Amino acid sequence: MPKEKILVVDDEPAILNLAKVKLEKEGYGVITASSGHEALIKVDEKPDLIILDIMMPVMDGWEVYKKLRENPETKEIPVIVLTAVGQFEKQLEGLKAEVSDYITKPFSPAGLAVQVKKILDAASQEKLEREKKRKEVKLKTLMDIIHKKE
């Protein structure tokens, strides 16, 4: 059974295949989408991370990213931007938009797999911390209720 699920979005079949093969070899489940519209449909499969191309026809990656962040169901999913746009200004724009990472094409499949692991490990830790805080709040509330009854 695969570890985590990754949605790879790119309009270039060769890039989709390269990322899919490498990530599956690393034990991840991989879902692919070849357009922004398809990505917004496949995000219903609840990926743990999204690798998103920016330069796509019809709906570009920034538009997809914006829609993901507006949706409460998808706003916490880490996103790695994978794009041919390597200008420093664009990379800075991506990082300011709070993408998890910005990788330029051509890319190293092994390097991509390393970044995926790092980001998923960090996201998992953050999720555990959020759950711990929710439990703590819940327990404090229960304790307050119990103490008020005494």
Residue 107 Cα distances to 43, 76, 82, 117, angstroms: 24, 25, 8, 16
Distance CA 40, CA 68 (A): 8
The pLDDT of residue 37: 95
Ranges of beta strands (E only) in the chain are 5-9, 29-33, 49-53, 79-83, 101-104
- Domains, the chain, with CATH or none: 5-125 (3.40.50.2300)
The pLDDT of residue 128: 66
The pLDDT of residue 64: 94
Distance CA 68, CA 66 (A): 5
pLDDT by position in tens, the chain (length 150): 558 999 999 999 999 999 999 999 999 999 999 999 999 999 999 999 999 998 888 888 889 999 999 999 999 899 998 877 655 555 556 555 678 877 878 888 898 898 899 888 887 777 767 777 777 777 778 777 887 766
The pLDDT of residue 77: 93
Rg (the chain; Cα; Å) = 18
pTM above 0.85, yes or no: no
